Amino acid sequence: MKGVDVVIAASTGGVIKREYIAQMAEDPIVFALSNPVPEIYPQEAKEAGARIVGTGRSDFPNQINNSLVFPGMFRGVLSVRARRITEELCITAAYTLARLADSRLSEDYIIPRMTEIHVFPEVATAVGMKAVDLGLARRLFTPDELYEHSARLIFGTHEKLRKLMELGYIS
């Protein structure tokens, strides 16, 4: 890790030492994605000199986790009945997440949070419309129609889950 700008680790907890971070380039970025115990805890990485830190955990800033992509990605491809999921669709999801984070971008906010459920229909719409553009969709929508369709399903499911938690059926 000596002299590198970015490290992306997805191995096992506790394997990155403070001294490794201290030897990285100026203002390094560290994604310690192992869960539940990251390769190095965010506070340790920051104290050692990391400028931006992400983990796979939702209780720390910058949760870098595929669960942020799945609700919108799958809703988009399922709604348009896409023939397959392509790299272009995955890249569209990534760019959409980046665009949605852009206005609030900071060292502790490089990607939307899982609790920002408005993100999911945005990703669904972008991915679904990209599938339409690529000729992969078997069901066509306008962007507004797809957003409304996705939002209704995603927010409806979220509301049902909230109600089940409120009633004590789910902790």
State the pLDDT at residue 13.
92
State the pLDDT at residue 170.
92
State the pLDDT at residue 29.
98
Sign of CA dihedral 71, 76, 78, 82: negative
- Residue 14 contacts residue 39 (beta carbons within 8 Å): yes
Buried b (16+ CB within 10 A) or exposed e, 136-162: bbeeebeeeebbebbbebbeeeeeeee
State the pLDDT at residue 74.
96
State the pLDDT at residue 67.
85
Cα separation, 30 vs 8, in Å, equals: 6
- Which parts of the chain register pLDDT below 70? none
State the pLDDT at residue 3.
98
The structure tokens listed for 144 are 């507004």
Q: Which residues contact 103 (CB under 8 A, 6 or more apart)?
A: none
State the pLDDT at residue 65.
84
Q: Which residues contact 122 (CB under 8 A, 6 or more apart)?
A: 72, 96, 100, 147
Q: Is the pTM for the entire model greater than 0.85? A: yes
State the pLDDT at residue 119.
96
State the pLDDT at residue 66.
84
- Return the domain boundaries, the chain: 6-55, 66-166
- Residue 114 contacts residue 67 (beta carbons within 8 Å): yes
State the pLDDT at residue 53.
98
